[in-house]
């Protein structure tokens, strides 16, 4: 029995197609069929039921599949450990990030990282906090930058920085000329918020309740772009993270107002508790933390020109 044969069998079992499995493995279909037949002969069991129209797992195949996956996982881990021991920092890392950080920080971070670790391939998963947290919990994402996780007890949480929240209103709004407002002044305003799978919505609602009122949510939207567009068109006001306002998306039709309080949200680096982290994963985590902390100082700068300041600080840190 060979490792290659186990990989071929698992590929067919996952795709239920010899054609698709051969395409995934970059081998010819006859070679794939031959190797699986050899495996079945050695085991003395039929693993796959084949007809002219479909492929399915036999009873023996259903029993053998988790065993084959376990062997492959151990083989991959052994190879990874030996590469690390020999100083060959290679591998793949699944890195998750909420959209605002992915847009403004991650490109500069990964540019510097790839120069130092050209043998590491990074897969970026961009989304809302809830989805990223699920990925970290189930192991499909190695670590992620997100807001406040819903289940911190099963995660290792490292605080990175506190990001300022700002009020965005249409230019013709009564508060558009104010330098700063108190959150309680928005009690009678219509709010536009991100949907429930973004933790920013629950964080803003919590802040409003602490200020003594229940926010009147008129619209829930699925992206920061939609939130700003709805606000620009006079459909309500929005509380927005600072990072969402540093690339010019806040057109001339919008006004940005600070809060007197002030208001912030936490950005955290999270990973699964007690999960093995490869050298590649640990290297990227250290790199991300260093760059995020270096950029945090730039968050005291005014919105105008702030994006350029972040880029300058990141490049200086890379040097």
User: Is the pLDDT confidence value at 32 over 90?
Assistant: no
Q: Could you tell me where the beta strands, DSSP code E, fall in the chain? A: 48-50, 55-57, 91-98, 120-127, 143-146, 155-170, 180-181, 190-194, 216-221, 238-241, 254-259, 263-272
Residues 45 and 15 in one domain: yes
Residues 222, 156 share a domain? no
Does residue 297 form part of some domain?
Answer: yes
The DSSP annotation for 165-196 comes to: EEEEEETTSTTTT-SEE-GGGGTTSEEEEE-T
Question: Mean per-residue pLDDT for 33-50?
Answer: 89
pLDDT at 66 over 80: yes
Greater confidence (275 vs 264) lies with 264
Give me the percent of the chain exceeding a pLDDT of 70.
Answer: 87
Residue 314: inside a domain: no
The pLDDT score that the predictor gives to residue 314 is 43
41 and 15 share one domain: yes
Question: Do 138 and 231 belong together in one domain?
Answer: no
Enter the tokens of residue 43.
């085991």
Last residue of a domain, one of 85, 111, 146: 85
For residue 237, give the CATH number of its domain. 3.40.190.290
Closest CA to 271 of 102, 98, 161, 154: 154
Provide the 3-class DSSP secondary structure of residue 128.
coil
Same domain, 174 and 246: yes
pTM over 0.85: no
Whether 311 has a pLDDT exceeding 50, the answer reads no
Q: How do the residues of the chain divide into helix, strand and coil, expressed in percent and rounded to 5?
A: 50, 25, 25
Predicted confidence at residue 306, as pLDDT, reads 37
Same structural domain for residues 284 and 244? no
* Measured distance CA(48)–CA(278) in Å, rounded: 35
- Residue 80 confidence (pLDDT) above 80: no
Q: Which helix (H) or strand (E) holds 129?
A: helix 129-138
Q: Is residue 313 part of a domain?
A: no
Position 95 in a domain: yes
102 and 69 together in one domain: no
CATH number at residue 50: 1.10.10.10
Domain that holds residue 224: 163-265
- Residue 264 has a CB neighbour count (10 Å cut-off) of 17
Residue finishing a domain among 44, 65, 85: 85
Which of 82-86, 143-147, 184-188, 270-274 bottoms out in mean pLDDT, i.e. has the lowest? 82-86
Q: How many domains does the chain contain in total?
A: 3
């Amino acid at each position: 029995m060979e490792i290659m044969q186990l990989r071929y069998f698992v590929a067919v079992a996952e795709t239920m197609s010899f054609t698709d499995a051969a395409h995934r493995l970059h081998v010819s279909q006859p070679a794939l069929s031959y190797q699986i037949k050899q495996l079945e002969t050695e085991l003395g069991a039929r693993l796959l039921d084949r007809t002219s129209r479909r492929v399915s797992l036999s009873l023996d195949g259903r029993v053998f599949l988790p065993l084959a996956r376990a062997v492959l996982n151990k083989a991959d881990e052994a190879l990874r450990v030996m590469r690390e021991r020999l100083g060959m920092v290679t591998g793949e890392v699944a890195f998750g990030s909420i959209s605002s950080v992915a847009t403004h920080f991650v490109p500069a971070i990964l540019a510097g990282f790839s120069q130092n670790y050209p043998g590491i391939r990074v897969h970026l998963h961009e989304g809302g906090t809830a989805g990223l947290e699920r990925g970290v919990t189930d192991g499909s994402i190695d670590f992620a930058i997100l807001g406040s996780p819903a289940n911190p007890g099963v995660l290792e949480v490292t605080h990175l920085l506190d990001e300022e929240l700002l009020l965005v209103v249409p230019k013709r709004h009564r508060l558009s000329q104010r330098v700063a407002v108190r959150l309680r002044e928005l009690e009678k305003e219509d709010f536009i918020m991100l949907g429930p799978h973004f933790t920013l919505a629950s964080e803003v609602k919590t802040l409003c309740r602490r200020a003594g009122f229940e926010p009147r949510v008129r619209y829930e939207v699925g992206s920061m772009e939609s939130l700003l567009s709805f606000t620009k068109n006079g459909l309500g006001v929005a509380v927005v993270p600072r990072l969402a306002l540093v690339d010019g998306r806040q057109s001339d039709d919008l006004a940005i107002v600070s809060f007197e309080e002030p208001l912030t949200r936490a950005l955290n680096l999270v990973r699964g508790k007690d999960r093995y982290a490869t050298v590649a994963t640990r290297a990227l985590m250290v790199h991300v933390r260093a760059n995020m902390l270096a950029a945090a100082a730039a968050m005291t700068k005014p919105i105008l020109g702030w994006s350029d300041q972040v880029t300058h600080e990141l490049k200086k840190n890379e040097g």
